[in-house]
Amino acid sequence: MNTVQTLKTLEDYINLNYPITFYPEIEGGYTVVIQDLSGCISTGESLQEAMDNILEAKRQWLEAAIQYKDPIPLPSNMI
């Protein structure tokens, strides 16, 4: 797993552009995933709501990783 050693703050990581995948659900709405951040998943009734929710999930994922000093992978589109 590649990590960025020069990044220090939450905002440094927030500003990285991780690929986001949207999956339309049969019953409506979307499931959205950042596959580079294991377990970073959310949902939304609209594309906008799903995007807002995954960005908040990304922030929370990164906050927890920083707090617990877990490695944070680079976005796969940067490797």
CATH assignment at residue 35: 3.30.160.250
State pLDDT tens for residues 38-71: 999 999 999 999 999 999 999 999 999 999 999 9
**Tokens 């990044």 sit at which residue?**
7
Distances (CA, A) of 45 to 22, 55, 58: 12, 15, 18
Question: If pLDDT is split at 50, 70 and 90, which confidence band does 32 have?
Answer: very high
Distance CA 4, CA 71 (A): 9
In the predicted model, is pLDDT for residue 1 greater than 60? no
Residue 45: phi, psi to the nearest 5?
A: -75, -30
Count each helix (H run) and each strand (E run) in the chain, helices first: 2, 3
**27 within a domain of the structure (yes/no):** yes
| 4, part of any domain | no
- Specify the pTM: 0.88
- Rounded Cα–Cα distance for residues 75 and 46 (Å): 25
Q: Which domain holds residue 17?
A: 10-78
Q: pLDDT-derived band of residue 6, with 50, 70 and 90 as boundaries?
A: low
